[in-house]
Structure 1
Amino acid sequence: MEALGMSRLIVISNRVSRPTKTGNQGGLAVALSQALRESRGIWVGWSGEVTENFTGQIGFSEDEGVKTATIDLEEQDVDEYYNGYANKTLWPLFHFRIDLAEYARDFEGGYNRVNQRFADTTSPLIEPEDIIWVQDYHMIPLGRMLRDRGHDNRMGFFLHIPWPPTRLLVSLPHHSKLVQTLFAYDVVGFHTEEWLESFRHYVEREMGGTVDGDFVTLGNRTIQAIACPIGINAQEYASAAVSDAAKDMYEKVRRSLQDRPMIVGVDRLDYSKGLEERFNGYARFLKDHPEQHRNVVLTQIAPPSRGEVESYQQIRATLDALAGRINGEYSDVDWTPIRYVNQGYPRDKLAGIYRAAKIGLVTPLRDGMNLVAKEYVAAQDPDDPGVLILSRFAGAAQQLKDALLINPYSPEEMSDAITRALSMPLDERKRRWRAMMDSVEQQDISWWRQRFTERLMAVQRDGEVKPEAQPA
């Protein structure tokens, strides 16, 4: 792998995704697994298991050529670090839901304690030439803790969720202390220019730092902060859409629809995904267009997540009730307007579902990127592609400008977009799809990984950047 040369890559994230023979990993896992395989690297993370007493014992494994190292956490760790600070404090705040964010001293303490435990257990595994790449909001302070243990390796951090505006971030207790830990890294990545600009604004306004292009300086420390949108393996996904499993699922779905056009949504059950607003927008469409009754079906696939967090229990209850009310109001004996499915599907079957849908409805209220939008595009039949309706508040909207971009808070906009998509001529559908597919193919998952790791490799061991890596 050119980007890493002879250096070994160490990826550290909350959870580890081990490769499987069936290949049903997410896009991020596939990209990182490939890089780890090529560099003889290690993927470090939580095993997902709970132990009565934390020992620091590392469980080593190797699957499909990828080495993993995992640790078990105590129940208190999971409650405070994962369910608490990560998912009750940072997740809602970074998705602009300050009303749902919970601030508890125990949460912050547990978050720092678990990051210290990751630093302690990872530290002996690190060799001097290793490249360290920390993933996402669970591990923000980990780089600082590794530096404190004497590691001067090239070290990068990537945030997979939005970075909130300064006016929201300052509501977080000890916000500047948390942000300061990012300056232990050499390269910090965000999905979009908007999230990057919010980070720069905070550093300048709240911390007195300076910004010069990609370079952000705080005190005597300068890092590179870049926008680097993640992608999918577009060609692999397009191939999956014509696999036998995908074809079987496509035929199964089309038969069940009895030739009705289908709208599809695929989202984790999460309040940031705009599912309640989506159901309300679809209900508005049914109200505005009685002539479309019995002619269209919304299939919403929403696997449950974080069921132990109260706000996630509430969104599930809300959606159950809303789907029931809409179906009760509009259904007929041989037609149900919403198919609401609380389970996930393997990638090849999901590709068949995408391909069977005339409309992909992707309406998050806020999203770092949203790879479902890109998967929907990649799965389409080039000769008869569907139409993507996309929230302008998803990071993907910066790339997929030929989608029908909407405000997900507006039921009228969603209703109008569904109406337009259902009647869109084939030549316009093909033109829009081709432009989006070009973007999905060009800035794919390998492009994302290589762009970030090349920046990281260009950093000298003293933290300076090689001249050729500096922006023109």
Structure 2
Amino acid sequence: MTRLVVVSNRVSIPEEGKPQAGGLAVAITGALSEHGGLWFGWDGRVKQVPSNRPSVVTRDNIDYATLSLSKEDYDNYYLGFANEVLWPVFHFNLGAMDFQLDHVKAYSRVNARFAEALVTLVQGDELIWVHDYHLLPLGKELRERGIRQPLGFFLHIPFPSFDLLRALPCYRELLEDLLHYDLVGFQTENDRHAFHEALVETFDATLEGDNVIDCLGHRLRTGVYPVGIDVDEAIAEAEHAITQAPACQFQADLGKRDLIIGADRLDYSKGLVQRFNAIETLLTHFKHRRQRTIFMQIASPSRSAIPEYDELRRQLEGMAGHINGTYADIDWLPVHYLNQTYAHADLMGLFRAARVGLVTPLRDGMNLVCKEFVAAQDPDDPGVLVLSDLAGAARELSGALLVNPYDVHDITSAIERALNMPRDERRQRYREMIDVLRRNSLLTWRQRFIDDLAQQAG
């Protein structure tokens, strides 16, 4: 079996006695264990003078090779270009873009540095799988250093429409960077179509069928690979969590009240402001929901060094205080806003207890929280998923109540419909969605991409 090399911005090195950070890390580790291989990327550390020689740790048959970043590169490559330019543009938020030439230079410099270190570790017969927007130019940098192995790239976030993309001063260079991969994968067909359109409009590329592109002397294949979850593991975790003391106490405190839950990383792309406005509208126009409904929003801290994120945190704290100050009673607090990170098992227990899962990003590549919410439900008495139709997952989960995340009244109406939904309809919607999750599982996503990349070796 061909050795696999995975490259990502961050590397998750397993530690004995500690669970891995997220299902995606588990899937990648599983692929590497199956094939034998290397996981390469940033170790999450910032050093004054980082070494250009990667640190290598071996666990079983997997080598974990990492580099540190300098403070300048962390500020300009990671916070600057990746998260203040690419992230907002790819999430359709041009107003949050802060384009600076120093950031572009750092982005190129770090990708070149990663490539320089990686070529010392590859052996010549691998499949190389690069992940996400931090590393768009890595394929070009590897090719320039003599790498001829099949190169695959998977974009976890949305790909913007051409009119949005060309607001980036360096969009032509980024598109040309992607031409050096053999296989480029996206979450949805809309994302792939936007990529095709950008190449045709910019370089007059030629499309052959649905998935082959000839452009500037390069020939590459594209594919749609929706990321999933490990359904059986998620179900087992939720079933276990709901029997534990914290979940039992929470359910006792909840009583007969209905729980509406959101769990997101604190980010302007998640539609949290509109979500809070929808909860206030629910309490204003559906007065029978007062005293009977609790909204819990978990917002894990994120990128606090970027001003927009700190401002969002303060805004949500103010909105939660306003709603509670207006509607709370001695024995009832309508909004529980938690700006903390919770263990995954605890989240699955909360999902299991909820009547409504509220997942309303303004734009999202896929969104796995909504899939975990579905998997966590009791099949006999499931809750209802209210989902943004601008999340990639909306293309799969037609059993959810789909809403426009910018339309507060649409979200409010969907919440009220969810809380009133008959049990038989809830069961039917759950069955439809859990079947989709099983077909498009995390393991299916991983294997489909690797199989398609392996075909490029011929």
TM category, shorter: over 0.9
Matched, 1:120 2:116: yes
Distance 1:245 1:427, change over 3 A: closer
Partner of 2:393: 396
TM-aligned CA deviation for residue 420 of structure 1: 0.6
TM-aligned CA deviation for residue 24 of structure 1: 4.4
Matched, 1:224 2:221: yes
Mapped contact 2:162–2:194 kept (Cα < 8 A): yes
The RMSD of aligned alpha carbons is 1.2
Partner of 2:192: 196
Provide the rounded CA distance (Å) in 2 between the counterparts of 1:51 and 1:90.
Answer: 24
Provide the rounded CA distance (Å) in 1 between the counterparts of 2:31 and 2:418.
Answer: 39
Mapped contact 1:240–1:246 kept (Cα < 8 A): no
Aligned residues: 456
Partner residue of 2:430 out of 429, 433, 437: 433
Matched, 1:174 2:195: no
Mapped contact 2:137–2:177 kept (Cα < 8 A): yes
Partner residue of 1:380 out of 377, 382, 402: 377
TM-aligned CA deviation for residue 62 of structure 1: 3.1
Mapped contact 2:385–2:401 kept (Cα < 8 A): yes
Q: Deviations over 1:395-447 (max 9, x none)?
A: 00000011000011111111111111111011000000000000011100010
Mapped contact 2:12–2:20 kept (Cα < 8 A): no
Equivalent positions of 1:22-101 (< 5 A) are 22-63=18-59, 66-101=62-97
Mapped contact 1:246–1:353 kept (Cα < 8 A): no
Instruction: State which drifts further: 264-273 or 405-414.
Output: 405-414
TM-aligned CA deviation for residue 52 of structure 1: 1.1
Equivalent positions of 1:126-141 (< 5 A) are 126-141=122-137
Matched residue of 1:124: which SS?
coil
Provide the rounded CA distance (Å) in 2 between the counterparts of 1:70 and 1:259.
Answer: 50
Give 5+ residue unaligned stretches, structure 2: none
Provide the rounded CA distance (Å) in 2 between the counterparts of 1:296 and 1:101.
Answer: 38
Partner of 1:159: 155
Matched residue of 2:433: which SS?
helix
Q: Name the amino acid aligned to 2:339.
A: N
Distance 1:63 1:339, change over 3 A: farther
Give TM-score, length-normalised by structure 2: 0.97
TM-aligned CA deviation for residue 348 of structure 1: 1.7
Provide the rounded CA distance (Å) in 2 between the counterparts of 1:193 and 1:121.
Answer: 34
Mapped contact 2:162–2:198 kept (Cα < 8 A): yes
Provide the rounded CA distance (Å) in 2 between the counterparts of 1:274 and 1:428.
Answer: 27
Provide the rounded CA distance (Å) in 1 between the counterparts of 2:13 and 2:298.
Answer: 24
Q: Deviations over 1:343-376 (max 9, x none)?
A: 1222222111100101000000000000000000
Distance 1:296 1:63, change over 3 A: farther
Matched residue of 1:125: which SS?
coil
TM-aligned CA deviation for residue 25 of structure 1: 2.6
Displaced runs of 4 or more, over 6 A: none
Matched residue of 2:96: which SS?
coil
Partner residue of 2:207 out of 204, 208, 211: 211
Provide the rounded CA distance (Å) in 2 between the counterparts of 1:370 and 1:192.
Answer: 12
Mapped contact 2:112–2:141 kept (Cα < 8 A): yes
Q: Name the amino acid aligned to 1:394.
A: A
Provide the rounded CA distance (Å) in 2 between the counterparts of 1:196 and 1:399.
Answer: 16
Partner residue of 1:287 out of 284, 289, 294: 284
Matched residue of 1:241: which SS?
helix
TM-aligned CA deviation for residue 460 of structure 1: 3.2
TM-aligned CA deviation for residue 217 of structure 1: 1.3
Give 5+ residue unaligned stretches, structure 1: 1-5, 462-472
Provide the rounded CA distance (Å) in 1 between the counterparts of 2:253 and 2:160.
Answer: 43
Provide the rounded CA distance (Å) in 2 between the counterparts of 1:300 and 1:253.
Answer: 15
Instruction: State which drifts further: 387-396 or 250-259.
Output: 250-259
Partner residue of 2:179 out of 176, 183, 189: 183
Matched residue of 2:274: which SS?
helix
TM-aligned CA deviation for residue 319 of structure 1: 0.6
Partner residue of 1:445 out of 442, 445, 448: 442
Matched, 1:233 2:230: yes
Mapped contact 1:134–1:156 kept (Cα < 8 A): yes
Provide the rounded CA distance (Å) in 1 between the counterparts of 2:175 and 2:415.
Answer: 41
Mapped contact 2:270–2:361 kept (Cα < 8 A): yes
Partner of 1:12: 7
TM-aligned CA deviation for residue 245 of structure 1: 7.0
State the identity %. Answer: 43
Provide the rounded CA distance (Å) in 1 between the counterparts of 2:160 and 2:241.
Answer: 43
Matched residue of 1:46: which SS?
strand
